[in-house]
Amino acid sequence: MISEGLRKSKLFQVNTLYSAAGGLYYPAIPLYLRGLGVSVDLISLILSGLSLSGFISAVLWGKLADSPSRRRRIIAVTTIGGAVFYMILALPLPLTIFTIILFLANLMAPGAVPVIMAEASGWVNATEEMGYFWIGGSLGYSLTTAFTGLILEKVGVGLIFLLSSVLILGVYAVSRGIIFSDRKEPAEATRVTQGNGISMIFWLLMLSVTIFLFTDVAKNLYIPVFYAFNLRMGYALATLTLSIEALLEIPVIYVFTKMLSRINAWLIFSLSLILAGLFFLLNAIIPPDPVYAFLVMSSYALVWGTYSVSSTELVAMLTDLRRRGTAYGVYNSAFPVANIIGPLYIGYVISISGYRRGLIYLSMPVLALGVMILKYNGKAKPRLK
């Protein structure tokens, strides 16, 4: 039963806590900066710089996590260090100092994720557990984004970072049990691989993942601003759309996790790209009505549900067990890369074309890529032997 699996899954627990923290501070940052009167261009530059630190974090800690003996110490350093920096961010700080501390926090906390994924990818029931991992992420994000705008309006950004610090400490407590799990003796653990243990197609997958994640950047950072200001919904309702959408991801992730045993992961991945392009187009034609905003944002549940389960499975298919730390480090670095390039790319397109026309332009690359992968579905190399 799904309830029994969730109850016992530490991956579910750890990503619920981690994503709950992200659901608090991540969508709050551009809203907070916009409220201070910071320009769109400067906000985009700050967000890109923040993502650079996240990229360094994922690649560095992921590479170190190739060695299982280091994983416990990495978990401690990244989570405790991140929690301390979030506590500092809860204090009233000048914009320059706030930005620097935010960068340092992002060098720490995200580093725990590739370590945990690398560890869990060697479990016998890795596919099912990764599904629970993503369900936890959606649940945690939905629970906190429901209140992010309200907390920001009524209390301020200080409480947001204080609560984030507590949640990251919870990640540390739960993740210790993952590193010492007794469910990691898969048949593939002893196989010998050729080359460096990472398929060439893996790098093409990472390029596709990065292009897909431009949609996620827009959904988390630009669409709420579009709803809040252009559709005049306000902070609270704009961020509430994110919460409801994330909650709807849960059944989608569960269904597609089960479908992975019967359907090619590449097919599901191509579907996620096509749906991402359609998400842009729906937002481009949305009328100024909160009901339509909630409906369109909710459609993103299909986008993220198909992407998360398929991309995680493809990483395991294309890499050897002994290189999973590096592989999941690179995989997790795709999100900050998208956040470095994305705000500059998305911000530029929107600034010269406006939100509605800009969203139409943004839909084209991801739609084309999805159709291309769908056309060549099944021609990727199989799991390394």
Whether the Cβ atoms of residue 165 and residue 87 lie closer than 8 Å to each other: yes
Q: Does residue 112 lie within any of the structural domains?
A: yes
Q: For the residues of 165-218, what is the DSSP string, one character each?
A: HHHHHHHHHHHHHHHT-S----GGGG---STTSB-HHHHHHHHHHHHHHHHHHI
- Which residue did the predictor score with more confidence, 225 or 187? 225
Q: Does residue 188 lie within any of the structural domains?
A: no
Q: Does residue 384 lie within any of the structural domains?
A: no
Structure confidence by residue, pLDDT tens digits, 50-70: 888 989 999 999 999 888 888
Whether the Cβ atoms of residue 216 and residue 246 lie closer than 8 Å to each other: no
Residue 187: what pLDDT? 41
Q: Does residue 86 lie within any of the structural domains?
A: yes
Instruction: Find the mean pLDDT for residues 301-322.
Output: 93
Instruction: Find the mean pLDDT for residues 324-347.
Output: 87
Instruction: Find the mean pLDDT for residues 17-25.
Output: 91
Q: Which of 349, 375, 330 is nearest to 57 (CA)?
A: 330
Total number of domains in the chain? 1
Of all residues in the chain, what percent carry a pLDDT higher than 70? 91
Q: How confident is the model at residue 206 (pLDDT cuts 50, 70, 90)?
A: very high
Domain that holds residue 333: 2-180+194-375
- Which residue did the predictor score with more confidence, 384 or 208? 208
Q: Which of 328, 116, 113 is nearest to 205 (CA)?
A: 328
DSSP label of 383 = S
For the chain, the average pLDDT equals 86
Residue 78: what pLDDT? 94
Q: Does residue 185 lie within any of the structural domains?
A: no
Q: How confident is the model at residue 144 (pLDDT cuts 50, 70, 90)?
A: confident
Residue 171: what pLDDT? 93
Instruction: Find the mean pLDDT for residues 193-205.
Output: 78
Residue 1 has pLDDT above 50, yes or no: no
CA dist 322 and 197 (Å) reads 7
**Max CA pair span of the chain:** 58
Place of tokens 């809203």: 31
By CB atoms closer than 10 A (0-12, 13-18, 19+), residue 226 is: buried
Q: Does residue 385 lie within any of the structural domains?
A: no
Residue 77 has pLDDT above 50, yes or no: yes
Write the CATH number for 269: 1.20.1250.20
Instruction: Find the mean pLDDT for residues 232-242.
Output: 80
- Which residue did the predictor score with more confidence, 195 or 264? 264
Q: For the residues of 329-369, what is the DSSP string, one character each?
A: HHHHHHHHHHHHHHHHHHHHHHHHH-HHHHHHHHHHHHHHH
Q: Does residue 168 lie within any of the structural domains?
A: yes
Instruction: Find the mean pLDDT for residues 100-128.
Output: 88
Whether the Cβ atoms of residue 162 and residue 87 lie closer than 8 Å to each other: yes
Q: Does residue 28 lie within any of the structural domains?
A: yes
